[in-house]
Protein backbone atom coordinates (compact mmCIF):
# COMPACT_ATOMS: atom_id res chain seq x y z
CA UNK A 1 0.00 0.00 0.00
CA UNK A 2 1.33 3.41 -1.06
CA UNK A 3 -0.71 6.31 0.28
CA UNK A 4 -0.03 9.50 -1.67
CA UNK A 5 -1.94 11.96 0.50
CA UNK A 6 -4.90 12.63 2.77
CA UNK A 7 -7.32 15.54 2.76
CA UNK A 8 -10.46 16.91 4.37
CA UNK A 9 -12.74 18.52 1.78
CA UNK A 10 -16.13 20.15 2.19
CA UNK A 11 -18.99 18.80 0.12
CA UNK A 12 -18.79 21.96 -1.99
CA UNK A 13 -15.22 21.04 -2.96
CA UNK A 14 -13.26 23.39 -0.66
CA UNK A 15 -10.09 21.78 0.75
CA UNK A 16 -9.73 22.38 4.50
CA UNK A 17 -6.61 20.28 5.02
CA UNK A 18 -4.28 18.31 2.78
CA UNK A 19 -1.21 16.29 3.71
CA UNK A 20 1.22 14.66 1.26
CA UNK A 21 3.13 11.56 2.41
CA UNK A 22 5.54 11.06 -0.51
CA UNK A 23 8.32 13.39 -1.60
CA UNK A 24 7.79 13.35 -5.38
CA UNK A 25 4.26 14.82 -5.25
CA UNK A 26 4.25 18.52 -6.20
CA UNK A 27 1.82 21.09 -4.86
CA UNK A 28 0.35 21.72 -8.32
CA UNK A 29 -0.21 18.00 -8.87
CA UNK A 30 -1.96 17.63 -5.50
CA UNK A 31 -4.18 20.65 -6.16
CA UNK A 32 -5.16 19.12 -9.49
CA UNK A 33 -6.12 15.84 -7.84
CA UNK A 34 -8.16 17.59 -5.16
CA UNK A 35 -9.93 19.81 -7.71
CA UNK A 36 -10.92 16.75 -9.72
CA UNK A 37 -12.45 14.92 -6.75
CA UNK A 38 -15.75 16.88 -6.45
CA UNK A 39 -16.30 16.56 -10.19
CA UNK A 40 -15.79 12.81 -10.07
CA UNK A 41 -18.32 12.46 -7.25
CA UNK A 42 -20.87 14.54 -9.11
CA UNK A 43 -20.45 12.68 -12.40
CA UNK A 44 -23.01 10.10 -13.41
CA UNK A 45 -20.36 7.43 -13.51
CA UNK A 46 -19.75 7.73 -9.80
CA UNK A 47 -23.38 7.43 -8.75
CA UNK A 48 -22.97 4.04 -7.11
CA UNK A 49 -22.83 2.51 -3.66
CA UNK A 50 -19.06 2.66 -3.25
CA UNK A 51 -16.71 4.92 -1.32
CA UNK A 52 -13.89 4.85 -3.83
CA UNK A 53 -13.31 6.23 -7.32
CA UNK A 54 -10.54 5.20 -9.69
CA UNK A 55 -8.97 7.33 -12.40
CA UNK A 56 -6.25 6.46 -14.88
CA UNK A 57 -3.49 7.19 -12.36
CA UNK A 58 -4.85 7.21 -8.79
CA UNK A 59 -7.61 5.92 -6.57
CA UNK A 60 -9.74 8.10 -4.29
CA UNK A 61 -11.00 6.42 -1.13
CA UNK A 62 -13.39 8.67 0.77
CA UNK A 63 -15.73 8.73 3.74
CA UNK A 64 -18.60 11.24 4.18
CA UNK A 65 -18.50 12.86 7.62
CA UNK A 66 -21.44 15.27 8.05
CA UNK A 67 -20.56 18.26 5.81
CA UNK A 68 -17.06 17.10 4.86
CA UNK A 69 -15.34 14.24 3.10
CA UNK A 70 -12.25 12.51 4.43
CA UNK A 71 -10.30 11.56 1.30
CA UNK A 72 -7.28 9.31 0.82
CA UNK A 73 -5.41 9.38 -2.48
CA UNK A 74 -3.59 6.10 -3.17
CA UNK A 75 -1.99 4.31 -6.07
CA UNK A 76 -4.18 1.96 -8.06
CA UNK A 77 -2.01 -0.98 -7.04
CA UNK A 78 -2.68 -0.52 -3.34
CA UNK A 79 -4.79 -2.98 -1.37
CA UNK A 80 -8.35 -1.61 -1.20
CA UNK A 81 -9.07 -3.43 2.09
CA UNK A 82 -6.04 -1.84 3.75
CA UNK A 83 -7.07 1.50 2.26
CA UNK A 84 -10.52 1.25 3.82
CA UNK A 85 -9.06 0.26 7.20
CA UNK A 86 -6.72 3.26 7.09
CA UNK A 87 -9.61 5.50 6.07
CA UNK A 88 -11.61 4.41 9.12
CA UNK A 89 -8.70 5.38 11.37
CA UNK A 90 -8.43 8.79 9.70
CA UNK A 91 -12.17 9.30 10.18
CA UNK A 92 -11.90 8.47 13.90
CA UNK A 93 -9.07 10.96 14.38
CA UNK A 94 -11.24 13.98 13.50
CA UNK A 95 -13.81 13.60 16.36
CA UNK A 96 -10.90 12.86 18.70
CA UNK A 97 -9.43 16.35 18.17
CA UNK A 98 -12.50 18.35 17.10
CA UNK A 99 -15.71 18.83 19.07
CA UNK A 100 -17.74 18.82 15.87
CA UNK A 101 -17.22 18.18 12.18
CA UNK A 102 -18.00 21.69 10.95
CA UNK A 103 -15.57 23.79 8.96
CA UNK A 104 -14.64 26.27 11.72
CA UNK A 105 -13.84 23.58 14.26
CA UNK A 106 -11.63 21.68 11.82
CA UNK A 107 -9.76 24.86 10.85
CA UNK A 108 -9.19 25.65 14.53
CA UNK A 109 -7.48 22.28 15.03
CA UNK A 110 -5.62 21.92 11.73
CA UNK A 111 -2.16 21.43 13.18
CA UNK A 112 -3.34 18.84 15.68
CA UNK A 113 -4.94 16.90 12.84
CA UNK A 114 -1.80 17.17 10.70
CA UNK A 115 0.34 15.83 13.53
CA UNK A 116 -2.13 12.97 14.02
CA UNK A 117 -2.11 12.19 10.27
CA UNK A 118 1.69 12.00 10.36
CA UNK A 119 1.51 9.39 13.12
CA UNK A 120 -0.77 7.21 10.96
CA UNK A 121 1.28 7.28 7.74
CA UNK A 122 5.04 7.58 7.25
CA UNK A 123 6.59 7.84 3.78
CA UNK A 124 3.41 6.55 2.21
CA UNK A 125 3.01 3.46 4.37
CA UNK A 126 0.57 2.83 7.20
CA UNK A 127 2.04 2.68 10.71
CA UNK A 128 0.81 0.02 13.13
CA UNK A 129 -0.84 2.41 15.60
CA UNK A 130 -4.25 2.81 17.16
CA UNK A 131 -6.18 5.86 18.32
CA UNK A 132 -4.89 5.73 21.89
CA UNK A 133 -1.28 5.58 20.72
CA UNK A 134 -1.81 8.51 18.37
CA UNK A 135 -3.17 10.60 21.24
CA UNK A 136 -0.17 9.66 23.40
CA UNK A 137 2.36 10.48 20.67
CA UNK A 138 0.84 13.86 19.82
CA UNK A 139 0.57 14.95 23.46
CA UNK A 140 4.39 14.83 23.69
CA UNK A 141 4.18 14.64 27.46
CA UNK A 142 7.64 14.99 29.01
CA UNK A 143 8.04 12.55 31.85
CA UNK A 144 11.47 13.98 32.76
CA UNK A 145 10.08 17.52 32.91
CA UNK A 146 7.35 16.49 35.35
CA UNK A 147 9.91 14.76 37.55
CA UNK A 148 12.16 17.83 37.49
CA UNK A 149 9.29 20.17 38.36
CA UNK A 150 8.15 17.98 41.25
CA UNK A 151 11.69 17.83 42.64
CA UNK A 152 12.06 21.59 42.32
CA UNK A 153 8.78 22.17 44.17
CA UNK A 154 9.94 19.83 46.93
CA UNK A 155 13.20 21.77 47.28
CA UNK A 156 11.39 25.09 47.56
CA UNK A 157 8.85 23.71 50.03
CA UNK A 158 11.55 22.23 52.24
CA UNK A 159 13.58 25.45 52.16
CA UNK A 160 10.50 27.46 53.16
CA UNK A 161 9.80 25.11 56.04
CA UNK A 162 13.40 25.40 57.22
CA UNK A 163 13.34 29.19 57.07
CA UNK A 164 10.06 29.34 58.99
CA UNK A 165 11.36 26.93 61.61
CA UNK A 166 14.61 28.84 62.13
CA UNK A 167 12.77 32.16 62.26
CA UNK A 168 10.59 30.79 65.05
CA UNK A 169 13.67 29.54 66.89
CA UNK A 170 15.34 32.93 66.56
CA UNK A 171 12.21 34.70 67.79
CA UNK A 172 12.00 32.37 70.78
CA UNK A 173 15.70 32.89 71.52
CA UNK A 174 15.29 36.69 71.48
CA UNK A 175 12.39 36.43 73.90
CA UNK A 176 14.45 34.31 76.29
CA UNK A 177 17.36 36.74 76.07
CA UNK A 178 15.12 39.70 76.89
CA UNK A 179 13.87 37.88 79.96
CA UNK A 180 17.43 37.13 81.12
CA UNK A 181 18.64 40.67 80.32
CA UNK A 182 21.15 39.53 77.70
CA UNK A 183 21.54 40.89 74.20
CA UNK A 184 21.61 38.97 71.01
CA UNK A 185 25.27 39.80 70.41
CA UNK A 186 26.40 38.19 73.65
CA UNK A 187 25.26 34.80 72.45
CA UNK A 188 26.15 35.13 68.82
CA UNK A 189 28.89 32.55 69.19
CA UNK A 190 26.51 29.99 70.60
CA UNK A 191 24.07 30.54 67.78
CA UNK A 192 26.66 30.29 65.04
CA UNK A 193 27.92 27.01 66.43
CA UNK A 194 24.50 25.38 66.15
CA UNK A 195 23.64 22.77 63.57
CA UNK A 196 22.70 25.44 60.97
CA UNK A 197 24.99 28.46 60.25
CA UNK A 198 23.79 31.87 61.46
CA UNK A 199 23.83 33.22 57.90
CA UNK A 200 21.26 30.64 56.92
CA UNK A 201 18.90 32.22 59.46
CA UNK A 202 19.32 35.96 59.15
CA UNK A 203 20.60 36.46 55.58
CA UNK A 204 17.99 37.30 52.99
CA UNK A 205 19.36 34.69 50.59
CA UNK A 206 17.39 33.24 47.66
CA UNK A 207 15.56 29.94 48.03
CA UNK A 208 18.09 28.09 45.87
CA UNK A 209 20.98 29.24 48.04
CA UNK A 210 19.32 27.91 51.15
CA UNK A 211 19.01 24.54 49.49
CA UNK A 212 22.69 24.48 48.52
CA UNK A 213 23.81 25.27 52.09
CA UNK A 214 21.91 22.35 53.57
CA UNK A 215 24.65 19.69 53.10
CA UNK A 216 27.00 21.80 55.28
CA UNK A 217 25.03 20.92 58.41
CA UNK A 218 26.49 18.47 60.89
CA UNK A 219 25.26 14.90 61.16
CA UNK A 220 24.30 15.37 64.80
CA UNK A 221 21.61 17.89 63.94
CA UNK A 222 18.14 16.46 64.27
CA UNK A 223 16.66 19.50 62.53
CA UNK A 224 18.76 19.46 59.39
CA UNK A 225 17.15 20.14 56.07
CA UNK A 226 15.55 16.94 54.78
CA UNK A 227 14.71 17.67 51.16
CA UNK A 228 13.73 14.07 50.46
CA UNK A 229 11.56 13.61 53.53
CA UNK A 230 9.17 10.71 53.09
CA UNK A 231 6.19 12.71 54.31
CA UNK A 232 6.32 15.15 51.39
CA UNK A 233 3.96 14.85 48.46
CA UNK A 234 6.87 14.92 46.03
CA UNK A 235 8.58 11.89 47.48
CA UNK A 236 5.27 10.07 47.10
CA UNK A 237 5.32 11.10 43.43
CA UNK A 238 8.87 9.78 42.98
CA UNK A 239 7.85 6.49 44.63
CA UNK A 240 4.91 6.29 42.27
CA UNK A 241 7.25 6.66 39.29
CA UNK A 242 9.44 3.87 40.58
CA UNK A 243 6.42 1.59 41.01
CA UNK A 244 5.60 2.30 37.37
CA UNK A 245 9.00 0.87 36.46
CA UNK A 246 10.67 4.24 35.86
CA UNK A 247 14.25 4.81 37.00
CA UNK A 248 14.41 8.10 38.88
CA UNK A 249 17.77 9.29 40.17
CA UNK A 250 17.64 12.30 42.43
CA UNK A 251 19.90 13.92 45.00
CA UNK A 252 16.90 14.43 47.28
CA UNK A 253 16.81 10.85 48.61
CA UNK A 254 17.41 10.42 52.30
CA UNK A 255 18.57 7.05 53.60
CA UNK A 256 17.71 5.60 56.95
CA UNK A 257 21.39 5.55 57.90
CA UNK A 258 23.28 8.53 59.28
CA UNK A 259 25.85 8.45 56.49
CA UNK A 260 23.32 8.75 53.66
CA UNK A 261 23.52 12.55 53.58
CA UNK A 262 27.18 12.42 52.52
CA UNK A 263 26.58 10.25 49.45
CA UNK A 264 26.11 11.69 45.99
CA UNK A 265 23.16 10.92 43.75
CA UNK A 266 25.29 8.76 41.47
CA UNK A 267 26.47 6.67 44.41
CA UNK A 268 22.91 6.18 45.60
CA UNK A 269 21.76 5.09 42.12
CA UNK A 270 24.75 2.80 41.50
CA UNK A 271 24.53 -0.96 41.58
CA UNK A 272 24.98 -2.70 44.90
CA UNK A 273 26.86 -5.57 43.26
CA UNK A 274 30.47 -5.85 44.45
CA UNK A 275 32.58 -6.04 41.31
CA UNK A 276 35.71 -8.18 41.09
CA UNK A 277 38.71 -7.48 38.80
CA UNK A 278 36.78 -9.26 36.04
CA UNK A 279 33.04 -8.59 35.89
CA UNK A 280 30.71 -10.45 33.52
CA UNK A 281 27.26 -9.07 32.79
CA UNK A 282 24.62 -11.25 31.15
CA UNK A 283 21.44 -9.55 29.98
CA UNK A 284 18.36 -10.58 28.02
CA UNK A 285 15.70 -8.31 26.54
CA UNK A 286 12.24 -9.66 25.80
CA UNK A 287 10.07 -8.22 23.03
CA UNK A 288 6.62 -9.68 22.39
CA UNK A 289 3.29 -8.77 20.86
CA UNK A 290 0.34 -10.92 21.89
CA UNK A 291 -3.14 -10.82 20.40
CA UNK A 292 -5.95 -9.95 22.79
CA UNK A 293 -7.81 -13.00 21.48
CA UNK A 294 -4.88 -15.28 22.25
CA UNK A 295 -1.86 -16.27 20.22
CA UNK A 296 1.61 -14.82 19.83
CA UNK A 297 1.91 -12.36 16.95
CA UNK A 298 5.66 -11.82 17.36
CA UNK A 299 8.25 -12.49 20.02
CA UNK A 300 11.98 -12.67 20.45
CA UNK A 301 14.66 -12.57 23.13
CA UNK A 302 17.93 -10.76 22.49
CA UNK A 303 20.74 -11.69 24.86
CA UNK A 304 24.27 -10.47 25.36
CA UNK A 305 27.27 -11.11 27.58
CA UNK A 306 29.84 -8.39 28.24
CA UNK A 307 33.15 -8.17 30.08
CA UNK A 308 34.44 -5.35 32.26
CA UNK A 309 38.19 -5.54 32.98
CA UNK A 310 39.53 -3.18 35.63
CA UNK A 311 43.26 -3.67 35.04
CA UNK A 312 45.63 -4.38 32.12
CA UNK A 313 46.98 -7.47 33.91
CA UNK A 314 43.58 -9.11 33.38
CA UNK A 315 43.13 -8.07 29.73
CA UNK A 316 43.90 -11.52 28.31
CA UNK A 317 41.57 -13.69 30.37
CA UNK A 318 39.46 -16.50 28.99
CA UNK A 319 35.98 -17.22 30.33
CA UNK A 320 34.47 -20.68 30.61
CA UNK A 321 30.70 -20.55 30.02
CA UNK A 322 28.15 -23.15 31.04
CA UNK A 323 25.63 -23.14 28.19
CA UNK A 324 22.44 -24.91 29.30
CA UNK A 325 20.18 -23.41 26.64
CA UNK A 326 17.37 -25.79 25.71
CA UNK A 327 15.49 -23.49 23.32
CA UNK A 328 17.93 -23.53 20.40
CA UNK A 329 18.97 -19.88 20.46
CA UNK A 330 21.25 -18.55 17.71
CA UNK A 331 24.58 -17.64 19.33
CA UNK A 332 27.39 -15.48 17.97
CA UNK A 333 30.79 -14.74 19.48
CA UNK A 334 32.84 -11.60 18.95
CA UNK A 335 35.09 -11.76 15.83
CA UNK A 336 38.20 -11.26 18.01
CA UNK A 337 37.43 -14.45 19.92
CA UNK A 338 38.31 -17.99 18.91
CA UNK A 339 35.12 -19.43 17.44
CA UNK A 340 36.50 -22.98 17.40
CA UNK A 341 37.14 -22.89 21.15
CA UNK A 342 33.61 -21.67 21.71
CA UNK A 343 31.98 -24.37 19.58
CA UNK A 344 34.01 -27.18 21.14
CA UNK A 345 34.37 -26.08 24.77
CA UNK A 346 32.01 -23.08 25.26
CA UNK A 347 35.18 -21.09 26.02
CA UNK A 348 35.42 -17.36 25.34
CA UNK A 349 39.08 -16.99 24.42
CA UNK A 350 40.97 -14.36 22.44
CA UNK A 351 42.39 -15.35 19.06
CA UNK A 352 45.57 -13.46 19.84
CA UNK A 353 47.05 -11.97 22.99
CA UNK A 354 48.16 -9.07 20.82
CA UNK A 355 44.55 -7.89 20.81
CA UNK A 356 43.60 -7.86 24.51
CA UNK A 357 40.30 -6.76 25.98
CA UNK A 358 39.96 -2.99 26.60
CA UNK A 359 40.29 -1.87 30.21
CA UNK A 360 37.53 -0.16 32.23
CA UNK A 361 35.06 -0.54 29.39
CA UNK A 362 32.14 -2.89 28.84
CA UNK A 363 32.89 -4.98 25.77
CA UNK A 364 30.42 -7.43 24.27
CA UNK A 365 31.79 -10.94 23.83
CA UNK A 366 28.69 -13.01 23.13
CA UNK A 367 25.18 -12.40 21.85
CA UNK A 368 22.21 -14.59 21.03
CA UNK A 369 18.73 -14.40 19.57
CA UNK A 370 15.80 -16.62 20.42
CA UNK A 371 12.60 -16.59 18.37
CA UNK A 372 9.49 -17.32 20.43
CA UNK A 373 7.17 -19.64 18.51
CA UNK A 374 4.12 -19.68 20.76
CA UNK A 375 2.54 -17.85 23.67
CA UNK A 376 3.42 -20.64 26.12
CA UNK A 377 7.10 -19.67 25.89
CA UNK A 378 6.38 -16.31 27.55
CA UNK A 379 6.99 -16.18 31.32
CA UNK A 380 3.61 -14.57 31.99
CA UNK A 381 0.30 -14.36 30.14
CA UNK A 382 -2.30 -11.61 30.43
CA UNK A 383 -6.00 -12.21 29.80
CA UNK A 384 -8.22 -9.11 29.49
CA UNK A 385 -12.04 -9.28 29.29
CA UNK A 386 -13.80 -5.92 28.76
CA UNK A 387 -17.58 -6.32 29.06
CA UNK A 388 -19.60 -3.44 27.65
CA UNK A 389 -22.93 -2.57 29.27
CA UNK A 390 -25.29 0.43 29.25
CA UNK A 391 -23.53 1.91 32.30
CA UNK A 392 -20.03 1.69 30.84
CA UNK A 393 -17.52 -1.16 30.92
CA UNK A 394 -16.50 -3.81 33.43
CA UNK A 395 -12.95 -5.03 32.82
CA UNK A 396 -11.44 -8.22 34.24
CA UNK A 397 -7.69 -8.78 33.85
CA UNK A 398 -5.91 -11.93 34.95
CA UNK A 399 -2.23 -12.80 34.88
CA UNK A 400 -0.80 -16.32 34.94
CA UNK A 401 2.82 -17.25 35.57
CA UNK A 402 3.53 -19.76 32.80
CA UNK A 403 7.18 -20.49 33.58
CA UNK A 404 6.93 -21.65 37.17
CA UNK A 405 10.68 -21.84 37.78
CA UNK A 406 11.03 -18.11 37.09
CA UNK A 407 10.56 -15.31 39.60
CA UNK A 408 9.38 -12.00 38.13
CA UNK A 409 10.16 -8.81 40.04
CA UNK A 410 8.64 -5.32 39.81
CA UNK A 411 5.80 -6.46 37.56
CA UNK A 412 3.91 -3.48 36.13
CA UNK A 413 0.80 -3.89 33.96
CA UNK A 414 -0.36 -0.65 32.31
CA UNK A 415 -3.95 -0.53 31.04
CA UNK A 416 -5.05 2.45 28.90
CA UNK A 417 -8.41 3.99 29.79
CA UNK A 418 -11.02 6.03 27.93
CA UNK A 419 -10.23 9.77 28.09
CA UNK A 420 -11.39 11.62 31.24
CA UNK A 421 -12.53 8.41 32.92
CA UNK A 422 -11.78 7.48 36.53
CA UNK A 423 -11.82 3.70 37.11
CA UNK A 424 -13.62 2.15 40.08
CA UNK A 425 -11.62 -0.78 41.45
CA UNK A 426 -13.62 -3.69 42.84
CA UNK A 427 -10.87 -6.31 43.13
CA UNK A 428 -7.09 -6.06 43.04
CA UNK A 429 -4.22 -8.32 44.02
CA UNK A 430 -1.21 -6.12 44.61
CA UNK A 431 -1.51 -2.35 44.30
CA UNK A 432 -2.87 -0.01 41.65
CA UNK A 433 -2.55 3.63 40.64
CA UNK A 434 -4.59 5.84 38.36
CA UNK A 435 -2.40 8.16 36.25
CA UNK A 436 -4.77 10.94 35.22
CA UNK A 437 -2.34 12.75 32.91
CA UNK A 438 -1.96 9.67 30.73
CA UNK A 439 -5.41 8.09 31.24
CA UNK A 440 -3.80 4.90 32.49
CA UNK A 441 -4.41 2.38 35.24
CA UNK A 442 -1.13 0.97 36.55
CA UNK A 443 -1.25 -2.41 38.29
CA UNK A 444 1.84 -3.13 40.41
CA UNK A 445 3.00 -6.52 41.68
CA UNK A 446 6.32 -6.55 43.57
CA UNK A 447 6.93 -10.27 42.97
CA UNK A 448 5.22 -12.96 40.90
CA UNK A 449 6.37 -16.51 41.61
CA UNK A 450 4.95 -19.93 42.44
CA UNK A 451 3.26 -18.58 45.57
CA UNK A 452 1.08 -16.14 43.58
CA UNK A 453 1.24 -17.42 40.03
CA UNK A 454 -2.36 -16.35 39.31
CA UNK A 455 -3.87 -12.96 40.14
CA UNK A 456 -6.66 -10.71 38.93
CA UNK A 457 -7.76 -7.10 38.74
CA UNK A 458 -11.36 -5.98 38.20
CA UNK A 459 -12.54 -2.43 37.63
CA UNK A 460 -15.35 -0.54 35.95
CA UNK A 461 -15.57 2.68 33.95
CA UNK A 462 -18.52 4.93 33.24
CA UNK A 463 -17.89 4.92 29.49
CA UNK A 464 -15.67 3.45 26.83
CA UNK A 465 -15.46 0.51 24.48
CA UNK A 466 -13.34 -2.63 24.44
CA UNK A 467 -10.72 -1.05 22.16
CA UNK A 468 -10.05 1.70 24.71
CA UNK A 469 -8.32 -0.79 27.03
CA UNK A 470 -5.68 -1.90 24.55
CA UNK A 471 -2.76 -2.16 24.01
CA UNK A 472 -1.82 -3.37 27.49
CA UNK A 473 1.86 -2.94 28.36
CA UNK A 474 3.69 -5.37 30.64
CA UNK A 475 7.02 -4.68 32.32
CA UNK A 476 9.09 -6.80 34.69
CA UNK A 477 12.61 -7.87 35.57
CA UNK A 478 13.94 -11.27 36.51
CA UNK A 479 17.21 -12.83 37.59
CA UNK A 480 16.21 -15.96 35.63
CA UNK A 481 17.12 -16.10 31.93
CA UNK A 482 15.46 -17.74 28.93
CA UNK A 483 18.80 -19.12 27.75
CA UNK A 484 20.51 -20.45 30.83
CA UNK A 485 24.05 -19.04 30.65
CA UNK A 486 26.44 -19.10 33.59
CA UNK A 487 30.13 -18.45 34.15
CA UNK A 488 32.08 -21.45 35.44
CA UNK A 489 35.57 -19.97 35.70
CA UNK A 490 37.89 -17.18 34.54
CA UNK A 491 41.58 -17.82 33.88
CA UNK A 492 44.58 -16.07 32.39
CA UNK A 493 45.38 -17.33 28.91
CA UNK A 494 49.14 -17.63 29.26
CA UNK A 495 49.55 -19.27 32.68
CA UNK A 496 46.10 -20.68 33.43
CA UNK A 497 45.87 -18.83 36.73
CA UNK A 498 42.35 -18.63 38.14
CA UNK A 499 41.10 -15.04 38.39
CA UNK A 500 38.52 -13.74 40.82
CA UNK A 501 35.38 -12.67 38.98
CA UNK A 502 31.87 -11.41 39.63
CA UNK A 503 28.70 -11.81 37.58
CA UNK A 504 25.28 -10.29 37.23
CA UNK A 505 22.43 -11.52 35.07
CA UNK A 506 18.92 -10.27 34.49
CA UNK A 507 16.01 -10.37 32.09
CA UNK A 508 14.10 -7.19 31.25
CA UNK A 509 11.19 -6.38 28.96
CA UNK A 510 12.01 -4.24 25.95
CA UNK A 511 8.43 -4.16 24.65
CA UNK A 512 5.70 -6.53 25.83
CA UNK A 513 2.19 -5.64 24.66
CA UNK A 514 -1.23 -7.23 24.39
CA UNK A 515 -2.76 -5.64 21.30
For the stretch 390-404, pLDDT in tens is 888 999 999 999 988
Tens-digit pLDDT profile for residues 497-511: 888 999 999 999 999
Q: What is the mean pLDDT of the chain?
A: 79
Domain boundaries 3-139, CATH class: alpha beta
Q: What is the pLDDT of residue 300?
A: 93
How large is the average pLDDT for residues 380-395? Answer: 90
At a CB cut-off of 8 Å and minimum separation 6, what does 58 contact? 4, 33, 73, 74, 75, 76
Establish how many alpha carbons lie within 13 A of residue 303's alpha carbon, considering only the half-sphere containing its beta carbon: 28
Give the CATH number of domain 276-515. Answer: 2.60.40.1170
In this prediction, residue 237 has a pLDDT band, given cuts at 50, 70 and 90, of low
Tens-digit pLDDT profile for residues 305-357: 999 998 888 888 999 998 888 888 889 999 989 888 888 888 998 988 888 88
Q: What is the pLDDT of residue 479?
A: 92
In this prediction, residue 203 has a pLDDT band, given cuts at 50, 70 and 90, of very low
To the nearest whole percent, how much of the chain has pLDDT over 70? Answer: 80
Report domain extents, the chain. Answer: 3-139, 144-269, 276-515
In this prediction, residue 463 has a pLDDT band, given cuts at 50, 70 and 90, of confident
In this prediction, residue 424 has a pLDDT band, given cuts at 50, 70 and 90, of very high
How large is the average pLDDT for residues 435-440? Answer: 89
How large is the average pLDDT for residues 213-221? Answer: 37
Q: Which long-range contacts (CB under 8 A, 24 or more apart) does 234-240 make?
A: 234/150, 234/151, 234/153, 234/154, 234/157, 235/154, 237/147, 237/150, 238/147, 238/150, 238/151, 240/433
Q: What is the pLDDT of residue 405?
A: 87
Q: What is the pLDDT of residue 47?
A: 52
- Classify burial at 101, counting beta carbons within 10 Å of its beta carbon; exposed 0-12, middle 13-18, buried 19 or more: middle
Tens-digit pLDDT profile for residues 258-317: 333 333 333 333 445 678 889 999 999 999 999 998 889 999 999 999 999 988 888 889
To the nearest whole percent, how much of the chain has pLDDT over 90? Answer: 27
Amino acid sequence: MVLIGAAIITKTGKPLLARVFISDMTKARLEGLLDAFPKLIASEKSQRQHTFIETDSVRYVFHPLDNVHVVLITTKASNILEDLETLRLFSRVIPEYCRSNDEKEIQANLFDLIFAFDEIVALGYRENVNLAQIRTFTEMDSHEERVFNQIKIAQERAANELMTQKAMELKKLKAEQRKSGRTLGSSATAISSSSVPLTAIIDDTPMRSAVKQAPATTRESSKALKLGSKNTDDDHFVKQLRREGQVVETSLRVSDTADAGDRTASEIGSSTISRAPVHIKIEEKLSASVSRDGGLESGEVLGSASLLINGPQFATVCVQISNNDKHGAQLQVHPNLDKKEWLQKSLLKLKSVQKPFPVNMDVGVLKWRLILNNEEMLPISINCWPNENPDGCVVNIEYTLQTENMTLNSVVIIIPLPPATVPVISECEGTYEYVRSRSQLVWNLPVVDESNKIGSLEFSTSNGQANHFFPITVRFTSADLFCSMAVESVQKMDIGETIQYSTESHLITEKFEIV
